[in-house]
Structure 1
């Protein structure tokens, strides 16, 4: 018999990309001054929920917009606010079925703000998003790896796939922390909004287990406990470690981890502390790369085999690089001078463009840094200013080609800001990673299942109840039903004397098929 190998693979059922237009309205928070001029705006879209229906993927998302502006008041101070718009879109993916696995990604291509005619504190939003959806399904199959004896392979090919180990494993964890409000921020009276993002920072395999390290990044919008009840926001990061059991997983295999925030709650506890509880769902896939050589893809005689189209994603390679950004800017005229920098935070990082060349991925993007400082004003009030640093870099991936797909992640590793004269000097270190994949389609053969011939066996009929009549004996009853007296006695242990039965007594009679 020709050689075969059993593979468990994530088959691509289909994929598609569509443009989505999101329209809505955002409003300046009540505690913020009116807008005179918008200086900058950034937008980011996140997936909230995905539903797979036949041939279609329905996606619920949130568009988050941050606006930096000059206030309409005498000192023309610079302020910022952010707001969210929820939306629903869909992507047609032929072959999609409920229960399939999915991958959905948004890319914000353009966003515009127009002052509302009825209310100058409101802005009409029009954003153009690129929505990508891919549907996959785990399938296990026996692949023909050798040409059957007496047959001829007209075509063969090498096949490299990711063989899945075990099943997709999921686990819910809760990440909690009690932390103090930073000294430069007023105390919290009321939480308005909480944004939470889970980021995987490290993953490693031990026997039958995946160890996951990550961070929960919180952004908290709140009303301050002060006479003006102004609106503030603060950032906090919670680190976590967890494990997910995956039977048969071993060090050296490939592991993919997805982290999804299912719920996030922050509330004031002992002043000035806050307590955060975040529920995260971890989804883990473990695989090993297998390469099969000279796999028959076209047989001269296909009898006994079924041809199947193997459509899978194959990782071509991955690479990473560090980017160091340094930039000095003058404090905006509308802001007071800096006496002391208190903190610097990367509050947003965005990839704006990727391009694959031969053996290389070109990446463009930007990071937004929030700088919190004590001003030189008499009351030494705390202020904040925002700075956008653009970057362009590349990552080496040796076998990358222009027609392949790439997934890029950017993570801030270090950020600092210092006062240099009347300017502020910012330095940011980014870790940029790129993973290049290619969807391959290849014909393979699987042996047809041989259904064994099963000889039907007679199923005995159940016993029947018989009511003894006058003049009956066990011998007469047995003869009338074509069975024997011992067979009746076997079913009726209550009959201790075969010569004594009573009128009206109920006895069980076996059917002839049992004889």
Structure 2
């Protein structure tokens, strides 16, 4: 418990969010570092039983096994707090034990050029499947430096010494032009510092500012989509001018990667049989688009002016500081979404000199978007835009109303064997001889994507016949490229 706060009588509510600070891809593994941000509202152990609030951050490091992952590949990580338990420690009533359960999802991707067979060779029998893929038109990375100067909040003491800094960056809007992608973003800087006071207490402050920049991507066009990956490579915060304790300068170095994509529907051939063709198979892991939906939601909130702010005479301006999705869950044909919008309200105070003040409010929202075909276990990308916001003062309360546009895009990870090349099977038959007499077998070298079933179908043998002549296999369902299996000779005609 922070020293100025009174002891806890009863915990009323607990709010928790997760911030990812570092992601590193290692061979077959993704390492994730971050912090859990916990905010507690409680009744104080005092005669008047006033309500108080405190917050803390807990660092964590974990990893996810991702077979095939290698350094340099792209990675997407989603961390959710599934459960948090806060209990008072027996040894000290001002110390609390925290236990948290995190759900960590890591998806590693690599951009590859792949030619697949889409036309069935003459005389063959083919199996085909329609696959929706995001075709990468172009990709480019760029280092961007963003900076901002800001005042230390009035309620905080001046800065004596900066102890630690951290930053979170989010791309909030994108516009694709010809051969260029323009993006808008928000950066939030957190500073831990020693206050310039006789007792030199440690304080924390945060500051959010907006920025815009662009990345050149050859081939980009207005009707295409863009996927962004932002990495904070360095963050530095110091006193402005090197010696101003009431004003800070933040400098961030970002690595921005933009992938411009367009959806394509491909009729891929997954199997070829009953002909003199030797196909080569490649296992394709893809994110197939299940569906996309958009919902407009009206969110309202009313609250009194927080202490020690003066009452409101007239609202001047209402703006959005930050918007964030804190939880998303897929159920049948729906994506359930929870999040918040941080609102800043600038107003004329109801005081004789009518000074201008500002107050902040976090407005929570719950909503859902219908996406037909969505099922639990699929992946959802959710975006929230504030299309309209207004506020007014009435009956001693500030009333905020906003219209949110929520878009959910649901994808499903699939694995398919697709035919990438075909070649005629060389014939070694000699006139007057039977190359594979019925009842005999011949050897076959397993290729990528082969199974006993697909090999047998290629030469007219059933799966049971294939298993019968391959009793030497430890697991008939697990054959790998380079292995040699037996194929029974089946009578022709």
Q: What TM-score do you get using the length of structure 1 for normalisation?
A: 0.67
Give the match's secondary structure for 2:277. coil
Q: Deviations over 1:396-437 (max 9, x none)?
A: 445645664212244667777765445454445544331211
User: CA separation in 1, counterparts of 2:383 and 2:230?
Assistant: 14
Give the match's secondary structure for 1:169. strand
Match of 2:29 in 1: 56
Which stretch has the larger CA shift, 196-205 or 336-345? 336-345
Confirm or deny: 8 A CA contact 1:91 1:131 kept in the other structure: yes
Question: Is 1:210 matched up with 2:181?
Answer: yes
Match of 2:18 in 1: 45
Change (3 A) 1:193 1:39: farther
Change (3 A) 1:288 1:328: closer
Match of 1:405 in 2: 379
Confirm or deny: 8 A CA contact 2:180 2:220 kept in the other structure: yes
User: CA separation in 2, counterparts of 1:201 and 1:369?
Assistant: 16
Q: Which runs of structure 2 are paired with 1:59-74 in the superposition (5 Å)?
A: 59-70=32-43
Q: Deviations over 1:46-85 (max 9, x none)?
A: 3333333443333222222223345556776655443222
Match of 2:111 in 1: 138
Match of 1:506 in 2: none
Confirm or deny: 8 A CA contact 1:254 1:288 kept in the other structure: yes
**Aligned-pair Cα RMSD in Å:** 4.2
Match of 2:409 in 1: 435
Question: Is 1:179 matched up with 2:150?
Answer: yes
Give the match's secondary structure for 1:139. coil
Give the match's secondary structure for 1:135. strand
Change (3 A) 1:424 1:296: closer
User: CA separation in 1, counterparts of 2:213 and 2:132?
Assistant: 31
Change (3 A) 1:114 1:417: farther
Give the match's secondary structure for 1:124. strand
Match of 2:264 in 1: 290
Question: Is 1:263 matched up with 2:237?
Answer: no
User: CA separation in 1, counterparts of 2:296 and 2:360?
Assistant: 23
Q: Deviations over 1:32-58 (max 9, x none)?
A: 323324443222223333333443333
User: CA separation in 1, counterparts of 2:381 and 2:87?
Assistant: 33
Which stretch has the larger CA shift, 206-215 or 412-421? 412-421
Match of 1:100 in 2: 73
Report how far residue 318 of structure 1 moved. Answer: 3.3
Q: Which runs of structure 2 are paired with 1:147-186 in the superposition (5 Å)?
A: 147-153=120-126, 155-166=127-138, 168-181=139-152
**Structure 2 residues not aligned, in runs of 5+:** 425-493
Change (3 A) 1:49 1:337: closer
User: CA separation in 1, counterparts of 2:371 and 2:185?
Assistant: 25
User: CA separation in 2, counterparts of 1:329 and 1:399?
Assistant: 40
Q: Deviations over 1:354-400 (max 9, x none)?
A: 23443x433344557799999999xxxx9999976543323244564
User: CA separation in 2, counterparts of 1:183 and 1:161?
Assistant: 52
Change (3 A) 1:52 1:337: closer
Q: Deviations over 1:248-293 (max 9, x none)?
A: 3333332111223233333332654321112222122122322233
Match of 1:351 in 2: 326
Question: Is 1:253 matched up with 2:253?
Answer: no
Confirm or deny: 8 A CA contact 1:114 1:123 kept in the other structure: yes
Confirm or deny: 8 A CA contact 2:272 2:279 kept in the other structure: no
User: CA separation in 2, counterparts of 1:100 and 1:373?
Assistant: 49
Confirm or deny: 8 A CA contact 1:327 1:425 kept in the other structure: yes
Change (3 A) 1:49 1:407: same
User: CA separation in 1, counterparts of 2:15 and 2:67?
Assistant: 34
User: CA separation in 2, counterparts of 1:292 and 1:348?
Assistant: 37
User: CA separation in 1, counterparts of 2:214 and 2:320?
Assistant: 29
- The structure with the larger Rg is 1
Match of 2:82 in 1: 109
Change (3 A) 1:149 1:50: same
Report how far residue 176 of structure 1 moved. Answer: 0.3
User: CA separation in 2, counterparts of 1:288 and 1:261?
Assistant: 27
Give the match's secondary structure for 2:67. coil
Confirm or deny: 8 A CA contact 1:33 1:73 kept in the other structure: no
Change (3 A) 1:313 1:212: same
User: CA separation in 2, counterparts of 1:384 and 1:192?
Assistant: 28
Q: Which runs of structure 2 are paired with 1:414-429 in the superposition (5 Å)?
A: 420-427=394-401, 429=403
Confirm or deny: 8 A CA contact 1:336 1:376 kept in the other structure: no
Give the match's secondary structure for 2:311. strand
Match of 1:279 in 2: 253
Report how far residue 306 of structure 1 moved. Answer: 0.6
Paired residues, number: 416
Change (3 A) 1:372 1:66: farther
User: CA separation in 2, counterparts of 1:415 and 1:186?
Assistant: 33
Change (3 A) 1:412 1:198: farther
* 1:393 alignment partner, one of 367, 371, 381: 367
